[in-house]
Structure 1
Amino acid sequence: MSVAALNGQSALRNKDRTKVALSCFLGSAIEWYDFMLYGFLAPLVFDKLFFPHADPVAGMIAVLGIFAVGFVARPLGGLFFGHFGDRLGRKPVMAATLILMGLSTTAIGLLPTYDSIGIWAAGFLLALRFLQGFALGGESTGAPVLMLESAPEGKRGVFASIAQSGNFAGVVIATLVVSFAAALPSDVLLTWGWRVPFLLSIVLVGLGFYVRLKVEESPVFEATRTPPARVPLLQVLDNYKRPALIVFCCALAESGVFYLTSIFGLSYGVKTLGIDQATLLRGVLIGNVIAIAMVPLFGALSDRIGRRLVLGTGFVQAGLYVAFLFFPLLQTRDTLLVVLAMAIPGALIQPMHIGVTSSFYPELFPDTRVRFSGVSLGRQFGTIFGGGAMPVIAASLLAWSGGSLLPILIYFSLVSVIAIGAVMAAEETRLRAI
């Protein structure tokens, strides 16, 4: 690290890092609340609202397909905001992503349904889902980068992971709100009840934007950005293809385990097994409440024993859990075991991933001028194939196989093996200068 960067971090130490941490935590929580509302509500009501005449299986695939569009947009948003984040600064990009996410989520709550405007309703829903993903592509990379570059020496893992704890807090809030909405009488839920969670976004975004404006720019970025890279993405492709590929492979499993268990698991439990959605959501809620605390713990552990060991162990656990435990626990239909099945990924497996990748990914890119773009390239494209596509691929494989889970298990096992191989191929980064 340069002397200028070290002086910048020292100056920030004399201030209060709490503002940076609070801003990133709240911003991540709000954006993930917005993004996950669709995932939790869609399997419950959106097939009836936007695809009322479709076959139940086809309707579920269509709804999950629109869910996946948010992930198609994420790399585009990541690269767009990454370009300006590397050239202009982390702070203005973080404000822009929050506003875009809030407006697009609120607009979903105002959408007319199929009964009002026909197939155009699904088209508008798809467009707004695209904008949500576009915004999250910038936020999900920018918040950890800003936290990493503002961290005290020797504590980058734990400090960067605080932003990612906000992801789980957002999922908790979304789960609670959707649980209340799901408890409404069916006719109320289908008329106006489903809109309320989306409309609440405008209030949360106002709070988050106010806090985010108070944050200082990254001291490391301020000290090392001159001269800026003309096109940061091209420099990544020229000089940092290997780190970007490692991030891509890790992101496959990092995102895949959450969306397979929480989104496809919710749909599979309700539609195929006939499990009450409140029971499934209770498991998601419990797991994500625990994760808020577990993510920084694993971040701190990676500061002590290394990023690769903690992350690799997490990927092994994810593969084994999905292959041997998750679906058998759901199939018991026992309330306690179903809650346990949905809670374990959030409580243990995902924190081992997220608590480490928030520092590991940016540390793979030593050049501050291209770091945002490099992480965005690998992470957002990895998230498409790992997370965004996972629910719709799983639903399609289930339909193709006549209800057999084996193709799904094989697919996720391959994703896990790829991620484990990427960790083994990477260098340890916890002591690397940034």
Structure 2
Amino acid sequence: MTTPTPSTFGTKQQKRAFLASLVGTTVEWFDFFIYATAATLVFSKIFFPALASNVGTLASFATLGVAFLARPVGAFIFGHLGDRLGRRTTLITTLTVMGASTGLIGVLPTWDQVGIWAPILLTALRFLQGVAVGGEWGGAVLMSVENAPKSRVRLYGSAPQIASPLALVLATIVMYFVARMPNEQLLSWGWRIPFLAGFVLVVIGMIIRLGVSESSEFTEAKKIGTVKSNPIATVIRTMPGKVAAGIGLQASVIVLFYLITTYMLTMATNIHGFTKSDTLMILLIAAIIDLAAMIGVGILCDRLSAWTVFVSGVVFTGAFAFPLFALFNTGNMVLMIIAFTTALVLGHATTYAVVSSMTAELFPTEVRYSGVALCSAFAGVAWAAPTPLVAAALVPTDGSEHWWPLAAILVGTAVVSFTAAFAVRRSFASRRHPQGNGGDAERLDARIPAGDPV
């Protein structure tokens, strides 16, 4: 397999769309991830100090989950706007909302300063973050794949997916140095630094996105008059099976990711005695390798069947669930890094890199933003929001080592994703790469009719 040449990778405008999707979504996920890490490391102490240790952790994770409950709101708002006004305008709006919300978190007063108002304001801003993400992911996917060359749909579709581990790497590096500060400085002002950076990063993302034209496929849809007056209602009324399948596809990859990046970090600190910086270093090493793997999978799936690669990753996730926790429970840093890295590369990268373009292919152009946004938002509600809470409730991070219920949950979500993948298999089996190399992506409009069942 050779590296794509500039001509096969795309035109200048296509590459700019890829970059805008990658950078803009990286900024948004950076804002999102620093909250998750801060919720794990400091928020229970500065926003919920009156609660017991484990209860404070649960309350902190609850504010983390609020954003996922807000995602459907963002999906309804921005899905509608994206299918009515266009992908570009909507994505600029979501980036603005995310950057402003994140920056304002950095100037919030704490419990010691304003009491109960501190967690209330924190929760409100986290809700706005969730609204922004509810509209961001779907639009970023479409901006990239709808401008993609025919032979690079999977790679282009992986742009917002690559943004996730890239943002995780950046957020982990920042939080690693912040966590090394003396505890008093960390809790008083150090934790604010990453959030204040949100004001700066949003400007960078905005400059890049303003330089991208509207999606070529949406422009064509407007030209021929196929844009729907109420795209969200159209999706809900005529394509509920596709939405359900899109939600199911993301089950195992989301639960795996949030177990690793939130709950297991707390477990490493509270049970195994690792310092905050040590746990972040474990995550950083695994995330960097995951980032490289994501790019490789995106390139590979333009030559092989994305569906087959996706299902292989889901099967691996279920098979590795118990070994993952067994290795992690040793408390050995080397074995923990191996466990994290293996799970992220073979379970996360193989599924996450292609689930974006696979979900987009379930819906026709005129309602695609709404359909993809609904799938992403409700997948967050179903799988991401409850994961840290359920994990902390079933296996408290204050000393319990009975981790088997968490491995069982991971196996269960793998079964859900496996079932969803088979339900939509025929949506991909009939489409082959135009160059005849065995891939299954041609153009996004070459798909089953919008009204067909899954």
TM-score range, shorter chain: over 0.9
Which moves more between the two structures, 414-423 or 338-347? 338-347
- Structure 2 equivalent of residue 100 of structure 1: 97
Aligned match of 2:335 in 334, 337, 340? 337
Amino acid at match of 2:296: L
Q: Give the Cα separation in 2 of the matches to 1:211 and 1:432.
A: 27
Asked if 1:412 corresponds to 2:413, the answer is: no
- Structure 2 equivalent of residue 89 of structure 1: 86
Matches for 1:363-378 after TM superposition, within 5 Å: 363-365=361-363, 367-378=364-375
SS of the residue corresponding to residue 272 of structure 2 reads coil
Q: Give the Cα separation in 2 of the matches to 1:316 and 1:14.
A: 37
In structure 2, the CA distance between the partners of 1:431 and 1:38, relative to structure 1 (3 Å rule), is: closer
In structure 2, the CA distance between the partners of 1:402 and 1:186, relative to structure 1 (3 Å rule), is: closer
Amino acid at match of 1:283: I
Q: Give the Cα separation in 2 of the matches to 1:348 and 1:409.
A: 16
- Answer 1 or 2: which has greater helix percent: 1
Q: Give the Cα separation in 1 of the matches to 2:242 and 2:303.
A: 22
SS of the residue corresponding to residue 370 of structure 1 reads helix
Is the contact made by 1:283 and 1:343 (CA closer than 8 Å) also made in structure 2? no
Is the contact made by 2:251 and 2:383 (CA closer than 8 Å) also made in structure 1? yes
- Structure 2 equivalent of residue 247 of structure 1: 246
Percent of aligned pairs with the same residue? 34
Is the contact made by 2:329 and 2:401 (CA closer than 8 Å) also made in structure 1? no
Aligned match of 1:19 in 9, 16, 20? 16
- Structure 1 equivalent of residue 68 of structure 2: 71
Amino acid at match of 1:319: G
Amino acid at match of 1:171: L
- Structure 2 equivalent of residue 7 of structure 1: none
Structure 2 unaligned blocks of 5 or more: 1-6, 429-439, 446-454
Measure how far apart 1:188 and its partner are.
0.6
Amino acid at match of 2:257: F
Asked if 1:195 corresponds to 2:192, the answer is: yes
- Structure 2 equivalent of residue 138 of structure 1: 135
Amino acid at match of 1:215: V
Amino acid at match of 2:327: L
Is the contact made by 1:254 and 1:353 (CA closer than 8 Å) also made in structure 2? yes
Which moves more between the two structures, 295-304 or 29-38? 295-304
Asked if 1:274 corresponds to 2:273, the answer is: yes
Q: Give the Cα separation in 2 of the matches to 1:20 and 1:281.
A: 32
Q: Normalising to structure 1: TM-score of the pair?
A: 0.93
Measure how far apart 1:170 and its partner are.
0.9
Amino acid at match of 2:291: I
Amino acid at match of 1:53: A
Q: Give the Cα separation in 2 of the matches to 1:85 and 1:61.
A: 35
Q: Give the Cα separation in 2 of the matches to 1:91 and 1:41.
A: 31
Aligned match of 1:57 in 54, 58, 65? 54
Asked if 1:112 corresponds to 2:136, the answer is: no
CA RMSD of aligned residues (A): 1.9
Which moves more between the two structures, 351-360 or 398-407? 398-407
Matches for 1:300-311 after TM superposition, within 5 Å: 300-311=299-310
Amino acid at match of 2:213: E
Amino acid at match of 1:229: K
Structure 1 unaligned blocks of 5 or more: 1-9
Asked if 1:147 corresponds to 2:144, the answer is: yes
> 1:350-378 CA distances to partner (integer Å, 9 max, x unpaired)?
1111211121000111x211001111112
- Structure 2 equivalent of residue 258 of structure 1: 257
Measure how far apart 1:15 and its partner are.
4.1
Q: Give the Cα separation in 1 of the matches to 2:135 and 2:258.
A: 19
Which moves more between the two structures, 299-308 or 367-376? 299-308
> 1:1-42 CA distances to partner (integer Å, 9 max, x unpaired)?
xxxxxxxxx9x9654322111111110110010001111121
Is the contact made by 1:262 and 1:342 (CA closer than 8 Å) also made in structure 2? no
Amino acid at match of 2:414: S
Measure how far apart 1:402 and its partner are.
6.3
SS of the residue corresponding to residue 217 of structure 1 reads coil
Measure how far apart 1:336 and its partner are.
1.2
SS of the residue corresponding to residue 16 of structure 1 reads helix
- Structure 1 equivalent of residue 221 of structure 2: 224
Q: Give the Cα separation in 1 of the matches to 2:241 and 2:109.
A: 46
- Structure 2 equivalent of residue 5 of structure 1: none
Q: Normalising to structure 2: TM-score of the pair?
A: 0.89
Is the contact made by 1:256 and 1:390 (CA closer than 8 Å) also made in structure 2? yes
Q: Give the Cα separation in 2 of the matches to 1:339 and 1:403.
A: 19
